[in-house]
Amino acid sequence: MAKDFYGDLRLGILGGGQLGRMLIQEAINFNVNIHVLDPDPNAPCKKLCNQFEVGSLSDYDTVYNFGKDLDMITIEIEKVNVDALEALEEEGVIVYPQSRVIRLIQDKGLQKQFFKQNDIPTSAFQFVSNREGLSNCHIQLPFIQKMRKDGYDGKGVKKISTAADFEYGFDEPSIVEELVNFEKEIAVIVARNDRGEMSTFPMVEMEFNPQANLVEFLIAPSNYSFDIQSKAESIAKKIANDLQIVGLLAVEMFLTADGDILVNELAPRPHNSGHQTIEGNYTSQFGQHLRAIFNLPLGNTESRSNAIMINLLGEDGYEGLARYEGLEEALAMDGVYVHLYGKKYTKPFRKMGHVTIVNPDRSLAIENARKIQSLIKVIA
């Protein structure tokens, strides 16, 4: 990298949400100048960066103009204008993850094809161009229909149980995939720097909120056997290497009852399944992402303790100026770390913050996490 860490390196982040906010908290320690682009004038990053710009992440000119005077650009969301990033790369701006990686991951269909071409285990699938295509699929019912683009937090994913559900399917280019009868959803975050060095964080187990389809509860390190964990970690490393990505790659996977692992999807950035690394591991996912994109040695990813992460979601039935109930009681407990994301307004299931519970005793950590889950409520 041309510039060193004397405070003159200009790093741009596309997206100003909570992932960007936690990335900034780490980036400050590297003396970088942080520029953020987000369409929301009150985005969580607004008050934490050197320069905040309000604008569309999907508009070519906005992204190009935001980036043209920066040294390096990274993302906290993959729904960004990739053509602009490609033009910036051609002009010498470093873009990590690379625009070609973001382009591939933006489209879940291209991701699935990439898995197939590279012998990465994943559920059987086929493409349909609209709702009508659902009726002549060769994938057996019940199946999952996924929009190829623009899905997030479970929006864009539908279970189609019978032919009568076809009319509720997405009327958009989608993937139809086999419904995986998984025992657990697991994730591995891997980092790769420009020298090709790679490092994985220990595998984590996720519990989803069935109503919101969001990660609600996450346990690290996992209790699964060494074999399963190393299998998941090698799959993550293989994908990072096949992609030649620079930066973090989160690999979401399904673990079946027979110990098989199928890759669900990728995220080329810090991820909800790595928030517990801030307190739970020697290096956090945010610190690791910066090490990777700055081409520095990767940090030690080992766990320091059992860590459980709970997402603080806006309570169902409340919308408006956010209020946080139960924070004081939660903070009175041992090893409790609260992260609020600076979002002024709550709405049902909006990610408003997270809490990490750290405890050397795993069952105590789980017990405390359950307590906190019923204690803290985000209401209006």
Ligand X SMILES: Nc1ncnc2c1ncn2[C@@H]1O[C@H](COP(=O)(O)OP(=O)(O)OP(=O)(O)O)[C@@H](O)[C@H]1O
Q: Tell the smallest beta-carbon distance from residue 265 to Mg ion (Å).
A: 5
Query: What is the token pair recorded at 172?
Result: 């958009």
In this structure, the strands spanning 351-359 and 323-325 are unpaired
Residue type, 94: I
C-alpha gyration radius of the chain: 20
Residue 38, binding choice from ligand X, Mg ion, none, Cβ under 5 to 8 Å by partner class:
none
Segment 252 to 271, residues that bind Mg ion, using CB under 5 A:
252
Residue appearing with tokens 């209006």: 380
CB of 233 closer than 8 Å to CB of 203 = yes
Q: Residue number with the shortest CB distance to Mg ion?
A: 252
Is the distance from CB of 314 to CB of 348 less than 8 angstroms?
Answer: yes
- Find out whether the peptide bond into 210 is cis, omega within 30 degrees of 0: no
**CB 214 within 8 Å of CB 208:** yes
- The least CB distance from residue 247 to ligand X, in Å, is 17
The residue among 142 and 297 lying less far from ligand X, judged by its C-beta, is 142
What's the min distance (Å) between Cβ of 123 and ligand X?
5
Residue closer to Mg ion, measured from CB, 128 or 215: 215
Which three-class secondary structure state does DSSP give residue 324? strand
Give phi and psi for 277, each to the nearest 5: -70, -20
In the complex with Mg ion, the residue whose CB is nearer, 76 or 252, is: 252
Nearer to ligand X, 176 or 330 (CB): 176
User: For residues 214-232, b (16+ Cβ closer than 10 Å) or e, as one string?
Assistant: bbbbbbbbbebeeebbebb
Q: Pairing mode, if any, of strands 143-147 and 174-178?
A: antiparallel
Q: Could you tell me the smallest distance in angstroms from the CB atom of residue 185 to ligand X?
A: 5
Is the previous residue joined to 97 through a cis bond, with omega within 30 degrees of 0?
Answer: yes
The answer to whether residues 220 and 204 touch, using CB atoms and an 8 Å cutoff, is yes
Identity of the residue, 20 or 151, whose beta carbon is nearer to ligand X in the bound complex: 151
123 binds, among ligand X, Mg ion, none (CB under 5 to 8 A by kind): ligand X
Q: Which residue has the tokens 């997405």?
A: 170
- Output 178 or 260, the one with its CB closest to ligand X: 178
In whole angstroms, how close is the CB of 273 to Mg ion at the nearest point? 9
Least CB distance from residue 264 to ligand X, whole Å?
5
**Residue 13, contacted partner among ligand X, Mg ion, none, CB below 5-8 A by kind:** none
90 and 234 Cβ atoms separated by less than 8 Å: no
- Rounded to a whole number of angstroms, the minimum distance from the CB of residue 206 to ligand X is 8
Q: For residue 92, what are the CA distances in angstroms to 39, 290, 306, 378?
A: 25, 19, 42, 44
Please say which residue, 204 or 357, places its beta carbon nearer to Mg ion. Answer: 204
C-beta nearest to ligand X: residue: 180
- Single out the segment in contact with Mg ion by CB under 5 A; choices: 245-253, 305-313, 342-350, 362-370: 245-253
Nearer to ligand X, 262 or 355 (CB): 262
Q: Give the binding site for ligand X (CB under 6 A).
A: 123, 144, 146, 151-154, 156-157, 177-180, 185, 208, 213-214, 252, 264-265
Q: Which does 269 bind (CB under 5 to 8 A by kind): Mg ion, ligand X, none?
A: none
For residue 78, the partner it binds in ligand X, Mg ion, none, with Cβ less than 5 to 8 A by kind, is none
Nearest to ligand X of 143, 286 (CB atom)? 143
The answer to whether the beta carbons of residues 67 and 93 sit under 8 Å apart is yes
Question: Minimum Å distance from CB 209 to ligand X?
Answer: 10
Tokens 């990728």, located at residue: 266
Secondary structure of residue 52 in the 3-state scheme: strand
Binding partner of residue 153 among ligand X, Mg ion, none, CB cut-off 5 to 8 Å per kind: ligand X
The answer to whether 364 and 333 have CB atoms below 8 angstroms apart is: no
Select from Mg ion, ligand X, none the partner in contact with residue 367, using the beta carbon and a kind-dependent cut-off of 5 to 8 Å.
none
Q: Output the smallest distance, CB 148 to ligand X, in A.
A: 11
Cβ closer to ligand X: 13 or 176?
Answer: 176
Count the site residues for Mg ion by CB under 5 A: 1
CB of 375 to Mg ion, least distance (A): 27
Taking the CA atoms of 332, 333, 339 and 345 in sequence, report the sign of the dihedral they define: negative
Residues that bind Mg ion (CB under 5 A): 252
